[in-house]
Structure 1
Amino acid sequence: MTTTNRNEGIDMKLDLLECVIEDQMAVVSLNRPPYNPLNWKLFGELSQLMDELEADREVKAVIITGKGDRAFAAGADIRDMMGLKTMDILANNEKCRATFEKMERLSKPIIAAVNGLALGGGAELTLACDLRICSETAKFGFPEINLGIIPGAGGTQRLQRVIGQTAAKELLYFGEMIAAERAYEIGLVNKVVPLEELLDHAKKWAEKLSEKPIMAMRMMKMSVNTGAKVDLDSALDLELACFGNAYATADREEGMQAFVEKRKPHFQGV
């Protein structure tokens, strides 16, 4: 697999992120080690980067991870928050929310490769991804209650949709960290692997996803993510429309023909 650093190829300057394009996947790293704290500038870069990756036809899947081996993202930079007035912090949280919603709307699947602590906003960031693989050393938590606040970028809502309300309330109310195995048990992560194998596993998943038909993947993500936010009848209508869009493609014809001929399909993205 050839590796090309595309930081210079995308139409923006990255200070707090790194983006490397490897064949048909983009590996995005939060670049504020050792704890990769989140701030408003980082969210601004991440938001703009999502636009760039959406427009990049070469990219079929995205991986988000943290630099170093201690943290994916250990939450928001509290020093940045302390002096802000309520209206200012609400405005900044709107930027976080918009960034996460942009990730959910991205037509390409996003994998969180959680290499260490994922706390507060860092845990919320993983919830905006489609899939989550974590290292055996990873820990997750929503410590906001211990700071006199609550999650403000989707944590109270996305968490309960992923793991259920009962387990979500336990994490949110107590504000305590849980280890990787517990995160797997409650369905917060899809897989737990040794730290040294984390990125390889994430890349293998991204490579498999990159081979899937583009329109079907786009429609699948839209149907799941948008359908979860509306009533069942509306979600079923959406699913049917997305099914129709996928069915109308040449890739659907190729997929079915390959199935009948008992061969691997060769999708062209059309």
Structure 2
Amino acid sequence: MSAVTDQPGAERTSRLRLEVADRVATVTISCPERRNALDHATMEALPFLFDELDRRDDVWVVMVTGEGDEAFSAGRDLKSAGPDRPVRRMPTVGPIRYPFEAVRECSKPVIAAINGWALGGGFELALACDLRIAAERARLGMPESKLGLGGQFAAVMLPRLVPAAVANEFLFFGESLTAHEAQAHGLVARVFPDATFRAEAATYAARLASRAPLSVRRFKAIAALSHDLSVEACLRADPYPNPYLSTDAEEGVAAWRAKRPPVWRAE
């Protein structure tokens, strides 16, 4: 496992660790003494890291989690604000792209393994992922209305995932949800016991990495289009990749006929 310290154009940061094994890239937010808060350097490094993961042939699945048992991420590190990085600033302007956009736009499936508190920007990071799984101890919240802060990414994404009344109450009041409450609303796909969460999350990611990678990426691409286009336009869309004409399609059918596991090549 290595720290993300060589992203060109981004500040060096030791709060992100990357490990790639068996086609699964695990990104760990590593600052447990600050509840894995996202400081300025971490926010700047995220787009560069996910651009790299998007291009790497040895990565088929990305999993994001937090170090320790207390927090996935407690959100933006307000203590990192200063005269040159004030709290009062717009997050969507400037030369660096919005970090959570880069996570959402990664062509590979991204799993948020929510091991503890996911608050504010940490919750938004989880929303940027395609799948969210949680430990029973996890809590999800957007306390920005209690702090006078904004949360534009959550305000855009949450109503796409849950009914408007649920999203508005969550955003307006700033109260947190338990893992099971989040699952009941459809925000979380699976909830696992605290004691086995790490092992369950690794198994979950490995299972996803065993699926045909081009098929999974195509599902993700079409699903993203479906938010903005008509049914007819989506049915005629042809985003990359195309599993229909792939070598993997032939391999999948051949493996099914031979009653053996398929050997995917992502081509």
Task: Give, as a single letter, the amino acid of the residue that structure 2 aligns with 1:40.
Answer: H
Q: Which residue of 2 aligns with 1:268?
A: 265
User: Is the contact between residue 111 and residue 202 of structure 1 (CA under 8 Å) also seen in structure 2?
Assistant: no
Match of 2:185 in 1: 186
Residue number in structure 1 paired with 2:66? 66
Contact 1:24 1:58 in 2 (8 A): yes
- 3-state SS of paired residue (2:36): coil
Q: Is the alpha carbon distance of 1:79 and 1:101 closer, same or farther for their aligned partners in structure 2, counting shifts above 3 Å?
A: same
1:218 paired with 2:217, answer yes
- Taking a change above 3 Å as real, the CA distance of residues 79 and 93 of structure 1, as seen in their structure-2 partners, is farther
Tell me the secondary structure at the aligned position of residue 50 of structure 1. Answer: helix
Aligned residue for 1:69, secondary structure, equals coil
**Which has the larger helix fraction?**
1
Could you tell me how far 1:129 is from its partner in structure 2?
0.5
8 Å CA contact 2:3–2:14 kept in 1: the answer is: no
Matching residue's letter, 1:16:
R
Question: Conserved in 2, the CA contact under 8 Å of 1:105 and 1:222?
Answer: no
> Between the two proteins, what is the percent identity of the paired residues?
33
Which 10-residue stretch deviates more, 253-262 or 219-228? 253-262
1:167 counterpart letter in structure 2: V
Further displaced range: 28-37 or 121-130: 28-37
Equivalents in 2 of 1:11, 1:96: separation in Å?
13
Moved more, 5-14 or 227-236: 5-14
Distance 1:244 1:127, change over 3 A: closer
Deviation at 1:100, TM superposition (A): 1.7
What SS is found at the alignment partner of 1:64?
A: strand
Supply the AA of the counterpart residue of 1:59. V
Stretches of structure 2 that go unaligned for 5 or more consecutive residues are none
TM-aligned CA deviation for residue 14 of structure 1: 4.2
CA distance in 2, matches of 1:133, 1:228: 23
> 1:114 aligned to 2:111?
no
Question: Structure 1's 244 and 203: CA in aligned 2 closer, same or farther, altered over 3 A?
Answer: closer
Aligned to 1:150: 150
Give the letter for the 1:253 counterpart: E
CA deviations 1:68-116 (Å, max 9, x no partner) are 2111111212234576668x62156768863222212212111111111
Gaps of 5+ in 1: none
Q: How does 1:118-197 map to 2 (within 5 A)?
A: 118-152=118-152, 154-197=153-196
User: What is the TM-score of this pair, normalised by structure 2?
Assistant: 0.88
Q: Output the amino acid matched with 1:247.
A: Y
Three-state SS of the structure 1 residue aligned to 2:266 is coil
> Residue 250 in 1 paired to residue 247 in 2?
yes
Letter in 1 for 2:251: E
Structure 1 pair 71/95, CA: closer, same or farther in 2 (3 Å)?
A: farther
3-state secondary structure, aligned to 2:98? helix
Amino acid at match of 1:69: D
Alpha-carbon distance between aligned partners in 1 of 2:202 and 2:96, rounded to the nearest angstrom: 26
How many residue pairs match? The answer is: 262
Note the C-alpha offset of 1:219. Answer: 1.4
Q: Which amino acid aligns with 1:157?
A: V
Secondary structure of 1:108's aligned partner: coil
Q: Helix, strand or coil for the counterpart of 1:118? A: strand
Cα deviation 1:174-210 (Å, max 9, x = unaligned): 1111111111111111111122322212211211121
Closer, same or farther: CA 237–89 of 1 in aligned 2, 3 Å: farther
CA distance in 2, matches of 1:191, 1:94: 37
Structure 2 residue aligned with 1:15? 14
- Cα gap change, 1:244 to 1:192, in 2 (>3 Å): closer
Cα deviation for residue 257 of structure 1 reads 2.6
Partner of residue 47, structure 2: 47
